Structure 1
Amino acid sequence: MIQFKILDKSDINLVIPLVHELNHGDVSFDLLKQRFSEMIEQNYECAVMHYDDKIIGVCGLWFCTRHYSGRSVEPDHVYILEAYRNKGLGKQFFDWIYKYIIGKGYEAIELNTYVGNYKSHKFYFNEGFNILGFHFLKKL
Structure 2
Amino acid sequence: MSIQIQTIAPKDILKIIPLLQKLNTKTPKHILEERVKEMASLTNYECIGMYLNGNLIGISGLWYSTRHYIGKSAEPDHVVIDEAYRRQKLGKQFFNWINTHVIAKGCEAIELNTYVGNNQSHKFYYNEGYNIYGFHFLKVLREDNKFY
Question: What TM-score, normalized to structure 2?
Answer: 0.92
Deviation digits for residues 91-136 of structure 1 (CA, Å, limit 9, x no counterpart): 0000000000001111100000011111100000000000010000
CA distance in 2, matches of 1:86, 1:5: 21
Aligned to 1:40: 40
CA distance in 1, matches of 2:28, 2:53: 28
> RMSD value over aligned CA atoms?
0.6
Q: Which stretches in structure 1 are left out of the alignment for 5+ residues?
A: none
**Secondary structure of 1:68's match?**
coil
Aligned to 1:122: 123
How far apart are residue 22 of structure 1 and its match? 1.2
Aligned to 1:78: 79
Deviation digits for residues 13-66 of structure 1 (CA, Å, limit 9, x no counterpart): 000111011112x11111011001111122110001000111000000000000
**Secondary structure of 1:120's match?**
helix
User: AA paired with 2:31?
Assistant: L
**1:95-106 equivalent positions in 2, closer than 5 A:** 95-106=96-107
CA distance in 2, matches of 1:22, 1:112: 13
**1:4-23 equivalent positions in 2, closer than 5 A:** 4-23=5-24
User: AA paired with 2:28?
Assistant: S
Query: Any runs of at least 4 consecutive aligned residues in structure 1 with deviations exceeding 3 A, and if so which?
Result: none
Question: What TM-score, normalized to structure 1?
Answer: 0.97
Aligned to 1:109: 110
**Secondary structure of 2:15's match?**
helix
User: AA paired with 1:108?
Assistant: A
Identity of aligned residues (%): 56
**Secondary structure of 2:50's match?**
strand
User: AA paired with 1:18?
Assistant: L
Q: Which stretches in structure 2 are left out of the alignment for 5+ residues?
A: 142-148
